[in-house]
Protein backbone atom coordinates (compact mmCIF):
# COMPACT_ATOMS: atom_id res chain seq x y z
CA UNK A 1 0.00 0.00 0.00
CA UNK A 2 2.79 2.43 0.90
CA UNK A 3 4.70 1.49 -2.25
CA UNK A 4 1.61 1.98 -4.43
CA UNK A 5 0.93 5.37 -2.89
CA UNK A 6 4.57 6.51 -3.09
CA UNK A 7 5.04 5.43 -6.70
CA UNK A 8 1.77 7.11 -7.70
CA UNK A 9 2.83 10.40 -6.13
CA UNK A 10 6.23 10.20 -7.85
CA UNK A 11 4.52 9.73 -11.22
CA UNK A 12 2.48 12.91 -10.92
CA UNK A 13 5.29 15.45 -11.41
CA UNK A 14 6.87 13.94 -14.56
CA UNK A 15 3.40 13.38 -16.00
CA UNK A 16 2.54 17.04 -15.45
CA UNK A 17 5.80 18.09 -17.14
CA UNK A 18 5.14 15.75 -20.07
CA UNK A 19 1.58 17.07 -20.43
CA UNK A 20 2.88 20.65 -20.51
CA UNK A 21 5.59 19.79 -23.06
CA UNK A 22 3.08 18.12 -25.39
CA UNK A 23 0.78 21.14 -25.12
CA UNK A 24 3.67 23.44 -26.09
CA UNK A 25 4.60 21.16 -28.96
CA UNK A 26 1.02 21.20 -30.24
CA UNK A 27 1.19 24.98 -30.66
CA UNK A 28 4.23 24.69 -32.92
CA UNK A 29 3.27 21.90 -35.31
CA UNK A 30 2.09 22.78 -38.80
CA UNK A 31 1.00 19.55 -40.52
CA UNK A 32 -2.05 17.35 -39.98
CA UNK A 33 -0.06 14.13 -39.57
CA UNK A 34 1.72 15.55 -36.54
CA UNK A 35 -1.64 16.37 -34.94
CA UNK A 36 -2.48 12.66 -35.02
CA UNK A 37 0.71 11.84 -33.10
CA UNK A 38 -0.02 14.61 -30.59
CA UNK A 39 -3.57 13.33 -30.05
CA UNK A 40 -2.24 9.82 -29.41
CA UNK A 41 0.32 11.15 -26.93
CA UNK A 42 -2.33 13.15 -25.07
CA UNK A 43 -4.58 10.08 -24.89
CA UNK A 44 -1.71 8.04 -23.42
CA UNK A 45 -0.98 10.76 -20.86
CA UNK A 46 -4.67 10.90 -19.87
CA UNK A 47 -4.66 7.11 -19.41
CA UNK A 48 -1.59 7.30 -17.18
CA UNK A 49 -3.16 10.10 -15.14
CA UNK A 50 -6.26 7.97 -14.65
CA UNK A 51 -4.09 5.06 -13.52
CA UNK A 52 -2.26 7.24 -10.99
CA UNK A 53 -5.56 8.58 -9.62
CA UNK A 54 -7.01 5.08 -9.27
CA UNK A 55 -3.85 3.77 -7.60
CA UNK A 56 -3.89 6.62 -5.08
CA UNK A 57 -7.57 6.16 -4.34
CA UNK A 58 -7.30 2.40 -3.91
CA UNK A 59 -4.24 2.77 -1.65
CA UNK A 60 -6.16 5.29 0.47
CA UNK A 61 -9.27 3.12 0.75
CA UNK A 62 -7.26 -0.05 1.36
CA UNK A 63 -5.12 1.45 4.13
CA UNK A 64 -8.05 2.15 6.43
CA UNK A 65 -11.82 2.24 6.40
CA UNK A 66 -13.02 5.83 6.35
CA UNK A 67 -15.64 7.04 8.77
CA UNK A 68 -18.90 6.22 7.01
CA UNK A 69 -21.86 8.58 7.18
CA UNK A 70 -24.97 6.38 7.10
CA UNK A 71 -28.34 7.82 6.18
CA UNK A 72 -31.61 6.53 4.78
CA UNK A 73 -30.96 6.63 1.05
CA UNK A 74 -33.41 6.12 -1.82
CA UNK A 75 -31.40 3.72 -4.00
CA UNK A 76 -33.72 4.26 -6.97
CA UNK A 77 -33.05 8.00 -6.95
CA UNK A 78 -29.34 7.39 -6.39
CA UNK A 79 -29.04 5.04 -9.38
CA UNK A 80 -30.94 7.43 -11.66
CA UNK A 81 -28.75 10.31 -10.50
CA UNK A 82 -25.53 8.43 -11.29
CA UNK A 83 -26.83 7.32 -14.70
CA UNK A 84 -27.84 10.88 -15.61
CA UNK A 85 -24.45 12.30 -14.63
CA UNK A 86 -22.40 9.85 -16.70
CA UNK A 87 -21.74 10.48 -20.39
CA UNK A 88 -22.49 7.43 -22.53
CA UNK A 89 -21.69 6.93 -26.20
CA UNK A 90 -24.62 7.74 -28.47
CA UNK A 91 -24.89 4.10 -29.61
CA UNK A 92 -25.21 2.79 -26.02
CA UNK A 93 -28.74 2.31 -24.67
CA UNK A 94 -28.95 2.45 -20.87
CA UNK A 95 -32.12 1.02 -19.29
CA UNK A 96 -32.99 1.23 -15.58
CA UNK A 97 -35.50 -1.10 -13.92
CA UNK A 98 -36.28 -0.15 -10.33
CA UNK A 99 -39.19 0.33 -7.94
CA UNK A 100 -40.49 3.85 -7.47
CA UNK A 101 -38.57 4.09 -4.19
CA UNK A 102 -36.36 1.73 -2.21
CA UNK A 103 -34.68 2.99 0.95
CA UNK A 104 -31.53 1.53 2.48
CA UNK A 105 -29.28 2.77 5.28
CA UNK A 106 -25.87 3.42 3.71
CA UNK A 107 -23.14 5.95 3.04
CA UNK A 108 -24.62 7.69 -0.01
CA UNK A 109 -21.28 9.04 -1.29
CA UNK A 110 -19.55 5.66 -1.36
CA UNK A 111 -22.61 3.80 -2.64
CA UNK A 112 -22.82 6.26 -5.54
CA UNK A 113 -19.13 5.65 -6.28
CA UNK A 114 -19.79 1.92 -6.25
CA UNK A 115 -22.59 2.22 -8.83
CA UNK A 116 -20.53 4.65 -10.90
CA UNK A 117 -17.63 2.19 -11.11
CA UNK A 118 -19.93 -0.65 -12.19
CA UNK A 119 -21.51 1.53 -14.88
CA UNK A 120 -18.11 2.74 -16.04
CA UNK A 121 -16.96 -0.85 -16.36
CA UNK A 122 -20.09 -1.79 -18.33
CA UNK A 123 -19.70 1.21 -20.60
CA UNK A 124 -16.18 0.11 -21.53
CA UNK A 125 -17.29 -3.26 -22.83
CA UNK A 126 -20.93 -2.88 -23.90
CA UNK A 127 -21.67 -3.11 -27.60
CA UNK A 128 -25.06 -1.41 -27.50
CA UNK A 129 -26.90 -2.17 -24.24
CA UNK A 130 -26.48 -1.65 -20.50
CA UNK A 131 -29.20 -2.68 -18.06
CA UNK A 132 -29.30 -1.55 -14.43
CA UNK A 133 -31.83 -3.16 -12.12
CA UNK A 134 -32.73 -2.77 -8.46
CA UNK A 135 -34.63 -5.57 -6.72
CA UNK A 136 -35.76 -6.42 -3.20
CA UNK A 137 -36.07 -9.97 -1.87
CA UNK A 138 -37.12 -9.96 1.78
CA UNK A 139 -34.04 -8.89 3.74
CA UNK A 140 -31.91 -8.68 0.59
CA UNK A 141 -31.49 -5.84 -1.89
CA UNK A 142 -29.77 -6.48 -5.22
CA UNK A 143 -28.24 -3.95 -7.60
CA UNK A 144 -27.43 -5.50 -10.98
CA UNK A 145 -25.43 -3.92 -13.80
CA UNK A 146 -25.35 -5.89 -17.07
CA UNK A 147 -23.93 -5.34 -20.53
CA UNK A 148 -24.04 -7.01 -23.95
CA UNK A 149 -20.26 -7.12 -24.35
CA UNK A 150 -17.99 -10.17 -24.68
CA UNK A 151 -18.57 -11.44 -21.14
CA UNK A 152 -16.12 -12.88 -18.63
CA UNK A 153 -14.84 -16.45 -18.53
CA UNK A 154 -16.02 -18.40 -15.46
CA UNK A 155 -12.40 -19.22 -14.66
CA UNK A 156 -11.85 -15.51 -13.92
CA UNK A 157 -14.92 -14.86 -11.78
CA UNK A 158 -13.09 -15.63 -8.53
CA UNK A 159 -10.43 -12.97 -9.12
CA UNK A 160 -12.42 -10.23 -10.86
CA UNK A 161 -12.72 -8.09 -7.72
CA UNK A 162 -9.04 -8.35 -6.80
CA UNK A 163 -6.84 -5.29 -7.50
CA UNK A 164 -4.88 -5.17 -10.78
CA UNK A 165 -6.77 -8.12 -12.26
CA UNK A 166 -6.55 -8.16 -16.06
CA UNK A 167 -8.91 -10.32 -18.06
CA UNK A 168 -8.39 -12.48 -21.10
CA UNK A 169 -8.34 -10.84 -24.52
CA UNK A 170 -12.08 -11.23 -25.17
CA UNK A 171 -13.06 -8.87 -22.36
CA UNK A 172 -9.85 -6.85 -22.30
CA UNK A 173 -10.10 -5.72 -25.91
CA UNK A 174 -10.34 -2.06 -24.96
CA UNK A 175 -7.87 0.02 -23.00
CA UNK A 176 -8.67 2.13 -19.99
CA UNK A 177 -9.07 -0.53 -17.30
CA UNK A 178 -6.50 -1.12 -14.60
CA UNK A 179 -8.28 -3.68 -12.45
CA UNK A 180 -8.90 -1.19 -9.65
CA UNK A 181 -12.45 0.04 -10.25
CA UNK A 182 -14.02 -3.30 -9.37
CA UNK A 183 -11.67 -3.74 -6.41
CA UNK A 184 -12.97 -0.42 -5.07
CA UNK A 185 -16.53 -1.68 -5.58
CA UNK A 186 -15.81 -4.80 -3.51
CA UNK A 187 -14.16 -2.69 -0.80
CA UNK A 188 -17.17 -0.36 -0.48
CA UNK A 189 -19.66 -3.24 -0.50
CA UNK A 190 -17.71 -5.04 2.24
CA UNK A 191 -17.91 -1.91 4.42
CA UNK A 192 -21.68 -2.23 4.14
CA UNK A 193 -21.41 -5.95 5.05
CA UNK A 194 -22.66 -6.90 1.61
CA UNK A 195 -21.40 -9.18 -1.15
CA UNK A 196 -20.24 -8.66 -4.74
CA UNK A 197 -20.44 -11.23 -7.51
CA UNK A 198 -20.23 -11.61 -11.27
CA UNK A 199 -22.18 -13.94 -13.55
CA UNK A 200 -23.32 -14.28 -17.16
CA UNK A 201 -25.92 -11.80 -18.35
CA UNK A 202 -28.90 -12.73 -20.56
CA UNK A 203 -27.73 -9.80 -22.70
CA UNK A 204 -24.67 -11.86 -23.60
CA UNK A 205 -22.07 -10.02 -21.54
CA UNK A 206 -21.26 -9.75 -17.84
CA UNK A 207 -23.67 -9.22 -14.96
CA UNK A 208 -22.32 -7.63 -11.79
CA UNK A 209 -24.48 -7.95 -8.68
CA UNK A 210 -24.25 -6.17 -5.35
CA UNK A 211 -26.06 -7.91 -2.49
CA UNK A 212 -27.03 -5.63 0.39
CA UNK A 213 -28.79 -6.81 3.53
CA UNK A 214 -31.20 -4.61 5.46
CA UNK A 215 -30.39 -6.46 8.68
CA UNK A 216 -26.73 -5.45 8.19
CA UNK A 217 -27.41 -1.82 7.28
CA UNK A 218 -25.17 0.80 8.89
132-164 tens-digit pLDDT: 999 999 999 999 999 999 999 999 999 999 887
* Alpha helices for the chain (secondary structure H): 2-28, 32-63, 75-85, 108-125, 181-191
Q: Report pTM.
A: 0.75
Q: Do residues 48 and 16 lie in contact, with contact meaning Cβ atoms separated by under 8 Å? A: no
Which residues, other chains included, contact 214 with Cβ-Cβ below 8 Å and sequence gap of 6+? 104, 105, 139, 140, 141
Residues 56 and 91 in one domain: no
Q: How does residue 175 score in pLDDT terms, banded at 50, 70 and 90?
A: very low
Mean pLDDT of 108-119: 95
Residues 142 and 180 in one domain: yes
Residues 26 and 125 in one domain: no
Residues 50 and 93 in one domain: no
- pLDDT at residue 14, rounded to an integer: 83
pLDDT tens-digit readout, 21-66:
888 888 888 777 788 888 888 888 887 887 777 777 777 777 777 8
Mean pLDDT of 115-135: 95
How far out from the chain centre does Cα 9 lie?
21
- Domain stops at, among 16, 42, 63: 63
* Domain membership of residue 20 as a residue range: 2-63
Angle at 130 between CA 127 and CA 135, to 5 degrees: 155
| CATH code, domain carrying 208 | 3.30.565.10
Residues 78 and 161 in one domain: yes
Within 13 Å, how many C-alpha atoms sit on residue 82's CB side? Answer: 22
Amino acid sequence: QELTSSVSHEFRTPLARLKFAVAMLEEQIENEKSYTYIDNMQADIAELEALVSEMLEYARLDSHQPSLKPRSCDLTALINSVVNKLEFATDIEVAVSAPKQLYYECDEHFMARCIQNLLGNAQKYANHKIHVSLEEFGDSIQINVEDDGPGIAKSEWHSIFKPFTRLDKSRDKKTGGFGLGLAIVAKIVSWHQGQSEVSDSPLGGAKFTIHLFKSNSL
